[in-house]
Amino acid sequence: MKQAGFPLGILLLFWVSYVTDFSLVLLIKGGALSGTDTYQSLVNKTFGFPGYILLSVLQFLYPFIAMISYNIIAGDTLSKFQRIPGVDPENVFIGRHFIIGLSTVTFTLPLSLYRNIAKLGKVSLISTGLTTLILGIVMARAISLGPHVPKTEDAWVFAKPNAIQAVGVMSFAFICHHNSFLVYSSLEEPTVAKWSRLIHMSIVISVFICIFFATCGYLTFTGFTQGDLFENYCRNDDLVTFGRFCYGVTVILTYPMECFVTREVIANVFFGGNLSSVFHIVVTVMVITVATLVSLLIDCLGIVLELNGVLCATPLIFIIPSACYLKLSEEPRTHSDKIMSYVMLPIGAAVMVFGFVMAITNPQDCTHGQEMFYCFPDNFSLTNTSESHIQQTTQLSIVNISIFQ
């Protein structure tokens, strides 16, 4: 919403969700047409070895970078427990580096060692339940905190120049193409029709959750919104601290899904699709170790989401499923699926190129873990925010800490 403009952002969110729904169904249709059961084998059969290598790189990079972003989120959210009595804010055991390492060794590594993705079904259900709880907290704070945070002067413009970057972030949020065949194969009696019903229902639920999160978050913080929404809230807010904990648990439980894909890509490219018990463990530990080390060096989530969205998610959603279907399908060019595929190809290419350039030249703001200025109302005049940038309100000068509790 911050990058695109609030009204255009809502429209883009619906559009990206529709494209995601269409391309997920198209992907499985392509698999049925080619007689393949993995994304890599589909592209290999359609475009040969060069296409196979390109997809393998993308299909590895997207979940790998997602693993890094989940570690960043876990470090950001689970390290904000200074409100716990007796806990020193400088205590190394609540620092983001220790939290990332501890969550990796204790939770994400053991869960990622499973061989069957279906075993994560109950874990995913817990994650979904926590997401609903977090959404309730964000909605509550939109009501109680929103009126006390100054609004940026361009908060309600229809569109902003960085809309393409917003598409990249939305693509990151919706993409699940890299593990679609894994999930499809885990269904009882998998068919295209059954898959289509599942995807339609999942996308509808997901888009409304995204809209509620985006709307409540943006209405609260407008132009001050960070890549990680929880970085906007004040550290003395006990309810949000509980929400941070739930959010951290959610991403920890989501992490293994991405690790499954990275491991499958490595297995297909280097081991003929099968990993022995020893190599299964070795590959898993190596991938998670590298992702953890990188996440310890980066603390800005926004740029990670943007780059992963435009460089990896966009071709996996817009370009490759459409290209495969157009080459495999014998339907006439006027068929609705082919028309939509022809539209998605150039749009995906444009989002990739322009999104990457804009992400590099105009990256999102990042607080690097520092608390936002409106959490210190008495020091408002000392911030770098000018009167021309925000609408000063008389409320701000009398804001009391009680509004955060």
Question: Across residues 11-18, what is the average pLDDT?
Answer: 95
In this prediction, residue 287 carries a pLDDT of 95
User: Is the pLDDT confidence value at 257 over 60?
Assistant: yes
Q: Is the pLDDT of residue 40 over 90?
A: no
The model's pTM is 0.80
Taking residues 241-267, report their average pLDDT.
89
CATH class, range 6-384 = mainly alpha
So what's the pLDDT on residue 298?
A: 83
Is residue 392 pLDDT above 80, yes or no? no
Indicate the range of 43-47, 143-147, 157-161, 379-383 predicted with least confidence: 379-383
Q: What's the rounded mean pLDDT across residues 229-255?
A: 88
Instruction: Note the pLDDT of residue 371.
Output: 80
- Position 82 scores a pLDDT of 57
As a whole number of angstroms, the distance between CA 322 and CA 8 comes to 25
Least confident stretch, 180-194, 372-386, 387-401: 387-401
Least reliable range by pLDDT among 9-18, 181-190, 312-321: 181-190
pLDDT of 203: 95
pLDDT at 86: 61
pLDDT band at 26 (very low <50, low <70, confident <90, very high): very high
Residue pair 115/284 in contact by the 8 Å Cβ criterion:
no
Residues 49-80 have pLDDT tens digits of 999 999 999 989 999 999 999 998 888 888 77
* pLDDT greater at residue 299 or residue 12: 12
**pLDDT for 189 beyond 50:** yes
pLDDT at res. 90: 66
**Mean of all residue pLDDT scores within the chain:** 85
Whole-angstrom CA distances from 46 to 31, 191, 192, 205, 384 are 10, 21, 19, 32, 55
pLDDT on residue 161? 87
- The pLDDT tens digits of the residues spanning 285-296 come to 999 999 999 999
Tell me the per-residue pLDDT of 343-386, one tens digit each, with 9 for 90 and over: 999 999 999 999 899 888 877 667 666 788 888 766 444 333 43
- Spatial contact of 241 and 83, defined as CB atoms under 8 Å apart: yes
